[in-house]
C-alpha cells in the first residue's frame, strides 16, 4: 500500500494545533472516558501525534500507531520536543494484532483516517481488527470531517491563510469517493515553494458506519454531529462515531 503521507507528513502540522482546527475534543474525550472508566487508549492512526499527546496530558495510558513511517517520524519529533515518551509502532490498522497483543479500554481512529480504505472488505477487516483489540465494554471512536453538510460546501476551501503560507483544498466527489487536492503555497523570502498532495477518501456517512459496524458485530453504536454529542444531522460539520464492544 502506498503511503500518501510520505512527503506531506513533514508539513502536515501547518494545520496548527488540533484545538484550533478541530474544536473541543479534549473535553469530549475527558467526559466520555471518565463515564466509561477508560484507562488505556490506542490511537491507531496517530499521524503526527497530536491526539496521543492530548490524551496523555489528560492522564490516560496511551499507545500510538500509524501506517506512515513519515507521520510516525513527525510524531516522535513532536512528542520528544514536549518531553513525552509514548510507545509508537508502524502498523496498518487492518492488522493491529500483528503489533499489539494487549487489549485496550478504547481505540481511536480520528480525523477522517478510516476512509483511506476504499473497499467494504478492507473497511470490515480494519473494524474487526480494532474490535478484537478492545476489552469487554471497550470503546471504538471514529471522527470525520466528511459529512452530508461538508460535502455540500464549495469545492474550494482556503484552509490556512497566513502571511508566509496558504493551504487550499480543491475537492471533488461522486457518490462513493471524495478527492481532496491539498495545495500548499509557501510565500515568504525564507521559503518559496508549492506542493500538491492528493487524498482519496471513501465517503462514509452515518448509515455506512452503522452498517459496517453492525456487520463487524457491534450492537451499541452512537453517532453524533459535534463534540457536545448533539445528534448528527444535515447541518453537522463533523461525524463522530462511538461503538461499544459488548460481546
Ligand atoms: C488525515 S490523517 C489524520 C491523522 C491524525 N489522526 C490526526 O487527527 O491528525 C490520516 C492518517 O491515517 C493514517 N492511515 C491511513 N491508512 C492507514 C492504515 N491502513 N493503517 C494505519 N494508518 C493509516 C495516515 O498515515 C495518516 O496519518
pLDDT band, residue 19 (cuts 50/70/90): confident
Structure confidence at residue 81 (pLDDT): 96
Helices 50-57, 69-81: axis angle to 10 degrees equals: 40
Ranking 21-35, 56-70, 79-93, 140-154 by mean pLDDT, the lowest is 21-35
Closest residue by CA, ligand 1 atom 5: 47
Q: 57 CA to middle of ligand 1, Å?
A: 21
Top mutation candidate among 47, 128, 133, 200 for ligand 1, by most atoms within 8 Å of CB: 47
Q: 194 CA to middle of ligand 1, Å?
A: 23
Grid coordinates given for 142: 471514529
Top mutation candidate among 50, 97, 113, 201 for ligand 1, by most atoms within 8 Å of CB: 113
- Ligand 1 atom at minimal distance to the Cα of residue 50: 9
pLDDT over 90 (residue 88): yes
pLDDT digits (tens, 9 = 90+) for 39-72: 999 999 999 999 999 999 999 999 999 999 999 9
Question: Any residues with Cβ below 6 Å from ligand 1, and which?
Answer: 5, 45, 47, 50-51, 66-68, 71, 92-94, 110-113, 116
Mean pLDDT of the chain: 96
> Average of pLDDT values for 71-75?
98
- Ligand 1 atom at minimal distance to the Cα of residue 1: 19
Structure confidence at residue 208 (pLDDT): 98
pLDDT digits (tens, 9 = 90+) for 179-222: 999 999 999 999 999 999 999 999 999 999 999 999 999 999 99
Q: What is the layout of strands, in order, in the sheet containing 134-144?
A: 88-90, 61-66, 40-43, 104-109, 134-144, 239-244, 220-224
- Say how far apart CA 72 and CA 65 lie, in whole Å: 8
Q: 189 CA to middle of ligand 1, Å?
A: 32
> Average of pLDDT values for 21-26?
80
Q: 15 CA to middle of ligand 1, Å?
A: 15
Residues 6+ apart with CB under 8 A from 102: 40, 133
pLDDT band, residue 247 (cuts 50/70/90): confident
Closest residue by CA, ligand 1 atom 13: 45
- Say how far apart CA 237 and CA 240 lie, in whole Å: 10
Q: 88 CA to middle of ligand 1, Å?
A: 13
- Say how far apart CA 111 and CA 48 lie, in whole Å: 12
Yes or no: say if 105 and 32 are a contact pair by the CB < 8 Å rule.
no
- Looking at the DSSP assignment, which residues form a beta bridge with residue 244? 139, 220
Q: Does domain 8-147+205-244 have CATH number 1.10.240.10?
A: no
- Say how far apart CA 44 and CA 55 lie, in whole Å: 13
3-state secondary structure the chain: CCCCCCCHHHCHHHHCCHHHHHCCHHHHHHHHHHHCCCCEEEECCCCCCHHHHHHHHCCCEEEEEECCHHHHHHHHHHHHHCCCCCCEEECCCCCHHHCCCCCEEEEEECCCCHHHCCCHHHHHHHHHHHHHCEEEEEEEEEEECCCHHHHCCCCEEEEEECCCEEEEEEEEECCCEEEEEEEEEEECCCCEEEEEEEEEEECCCHHHHHHHHHHCCCCEEEEECCCCCCECCCCCCCEEEEEECCC
Structure confidence at residue 153 (pLDDT): 96
Top mutation candidate among 116, 124, 144, 169 for ligand 1, by most atoms within 8 Å of CB: 116
Amino acid at each position: 500500500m502506498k503511503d500518501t503521507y510520505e512527503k506531506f507528513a513533514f508539513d502536515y502540522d501547518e494545520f496548527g494545533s488540533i484545538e484550533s482546527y478541530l474544536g473541543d475534543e479534549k473535553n469530549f474525550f475527558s467526559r466520555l472516558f471518565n463515564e466509561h472508566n477508560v484507562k488505556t487508549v490506542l490511537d491507531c492512526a496517530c499521524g503526527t501525534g497530536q491526539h496521543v499527546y492530548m490524551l496523555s496530558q489528560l492522564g490516560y495510558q496511551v499507545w500510538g500507531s500509524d501506517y506512515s513511517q513519515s507521520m510516525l517520524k513527525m510524531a516522535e519529533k513532536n512528542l520528544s520536543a514536549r518531553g513525552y515518551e509514548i510507545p509508537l509502532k508502524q502498523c496498518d490498522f487492518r492488522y493491529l494484532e500483528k503489533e499489539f497483543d494487549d487489549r485496550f479500554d478504547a481505540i481511536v481512529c480520528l480525523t477522517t483516517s478510516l476512509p483511506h480504505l476504499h473497499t467494504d472488505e478492507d473497511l470490515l477487516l480494519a473494524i474487526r481488527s480494532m474490535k478484537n483489540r478492545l476489552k469487554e465494554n471497550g470503546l471504538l471512536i471514529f471522527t470525520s470531517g466528511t459529512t452530508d453538510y461538508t460535502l455540500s460546501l464549495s469545492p474550494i476551501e482556503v484552509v490556512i491563510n497566513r502571511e508566509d503560507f496558504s493551504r487550499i483544498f480543491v475537492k471533488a466527489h461522486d457518490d462513493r469517493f471524495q478527492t481532496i487536492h491539498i495545495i500548499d503555497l509557501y510565500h515568504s523570502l525564507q521559503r518559496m515553494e508549492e506542493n500538491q498532495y492528493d487524498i482519496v477518501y471513501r465517503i462514509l456517512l452515518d448509515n455506512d458506519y452503522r452498517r459496517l459496524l453492525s456487520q463487524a458485530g457491534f450492537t451499541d453504536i452512537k453517532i453524533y454531529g459535534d463534540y457536545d454529542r448533539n445528534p448528527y444531522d444535515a447541518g453537522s460539520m463533523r461525524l463522530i462515531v462511538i461503538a461499544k464492544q459488548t460481546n
